[in-house]
Structure 1
């Protein structure tokens, strides 16, 4: 059975124990793409680039000595022991007491679950410290809480920031939440649970109104939701971008160039900017546009 022993960016070097022959295999573009996706996910979950490389090598190759791991990922022995020690502390790698000493990775599924749980614990800890941190901040000389309402614009970068802001607006809405959904984002909204959140807040007394492009794709997802409290209409609204309005006070607006997807996920040749603002004039313009579209659809029925 061939075993991974060394790898470069495009080549994978294996040693076949049965035939005692080295084999070099060229990775396919799809394999490279898949590995990059997994590496990025591990980086997002708190691993360093070297930790991600070492873990992935061990997860693919099975138990190996430190020297073989070092050779495979092109790190010196001092650095490889530091990285392996870090992975041990995170519970992703275990030491096998053999001669020579070897290391083995936990299954990938377990590793991802543990890393996600570790990130959740960090967030819970920060949430618990929030009130205390605010007390300390206010007590500092020269510190003050600015209670004056300021009109501001904020550009949101990446899907995490945008989704977090959208959910923040959902939670803070007291009486009315308006959403316009275009065809190119409906899938992401459905799978992220955003549409479920609309139904949830509507059950708490918030007037939720949704306008969406009239297309087979959107009709499919809307039927899947089986909305009971969310009011919605499907209509031909042209090339309007996704936007939402909370209590006529705050707006989240996706400005797009060419075709792009929700939450900053873009096609290769397109760009998108997600804007949050409480600027009164812009909020009123978008709210009036929404109400006019809503009323015009009701008049046509």
Structure 2
């Protein structure tokens, strides 16, 4: 296979037979980036994985990369354990099988998390040794807001909200939104808290199994012609609004948290109005 054919796997047009492969490769590339690889590292790994062992010079030509950068990329992939160098002249580089590569990346990330977790106690202890220098005033409590990008930070914020909840925990969202919360164990956390759960599902065409298992008095449905939105109101004191939720074209979620009294009251009123108009699931 010549170099032009190799390049086409990444850069072909929509009217070619290879286009469907390009779309799949873009998804794989994005997933590898989520595992910590750069875009160029992901392309090199994919190229080696699908075209077999290659020299750094061949990689540079096929992917149209500077040669010096290519050497840096293959060396970094070797350090990650994703690429091996063959004892030949010139040196040939070979990618690991995808399942082994993912397993390696997961183990490395878990090791990094374990190291950070072991530092938690010592960092907290050192932090508490330093006195608090802020001067207390009689000023009114300032309202706060926080932008949250990605499933991890958003899930952690929801857990904080659940842990502080003592009255009502209200969720408005689509089936996809609630399914994402379900798989993140949010409903398990709520069951262990004193909060009274109320949920509005919009739109609702078919009732998924996980919703049918919940108490019918906690859930109401809005007709399918309603616009899709997702937000959470906790104890009428804080609100989490998804700017990009599970129905958004992009996979990455984005949310906005605030304890603004005006905003919380507005979103809580919207929930109550929707609750009054909603219908019981069964």
Q: Which of the numbers 196, 220, 226 marks the counterpart of 2:212?
A: 226
The match for 1:15 is none
Q: Which of the numbers 16, 33, 38 marks the counterpart of 2:23?
A: 33
| More strand per residue | 1
The match for 1:186 is 175
> How far, CA to CA, are the matches of 1:212 and 1:117 in structure 2?
38
The match for 1:7 is 7
Deviation at 1:56, TM superposition (A): 1.1
- In structure 2, list runs of 5 or more residues that go unmatched: none
Contact 1:58 1:105 in 2 (8 A): yes
Q: C-alpha offsets along residues 243-265 of structure 1, whole Å, 9 cap, x if unaligned?
A: 1112322101235xxxxx51693
The match for 2:245 is 262
SS at structure 2 position matched to 1:58: helix
Deviation at 1:66, TM superposition (A): 2.8
Pairing 1:151–2:143 present: yes
Off by >6 Å, runs of 4+ in structure 1: 145-148
Pairing 1:278–2:259 present: yes
Pairing 1:201–2:193 present: no
TM-score (norm 2): 0.75
> How far, CA to CA, are the matches of 2:226 and 2:144 in structure 1?
28
Pairing 1:215–2:214 present: no
> How far, CA to CA, are the matches of 2:198 and 2:72 in structure 1?
55
Deviation at 1:104, TM superposition (A): 1.2
> How far, CA to CA, are the matches of 2:88 and 2:264 in structure 1?
67
Contact 1:211 1:234 in 2 (8 A): yes
TM-score (norm 1): 0.71
Once structures 1 and 2 are overlaid, which stretch shifts more, 101-110 or 124-133? 124-133
User: Structure 1 225/26 Cα, relative in aligned 2: closer, same or farther at 3 Å?
Assistant: same
Q: Within 5 Å, which residues of 2 pair with 1:1-301?
A: 2=1, 6-7=6-7, 9-11=10-12, 28-98=18-88, 100-137=90-127, 139=129, 150-158=142-150, 160-181=152-173, 185-191=174-180, 193-194=182-183, 196-213=185-202, 215-216=204-205, 219-221=206-208, 223-228=209-214, 231-236=218-223, 238-239=226-227, 241-254=229-242, 262=245, 265-266=248-249, 274-294=255-275
Once structures 1 and 2 are overlaid, which stretch shifts more, 159-168 or 275-284? 159-168
Q: C-alpha offsets along residues 44-84 of structure 1, whole Å, 9 cap, x if unaligned?
A: 32222332221111111112233322322233444333322
SS at structure 2 position matched to 1:211: strand
- In structure 1, list runs of 5 or more residues that go unmatched: 13-24, 256-260
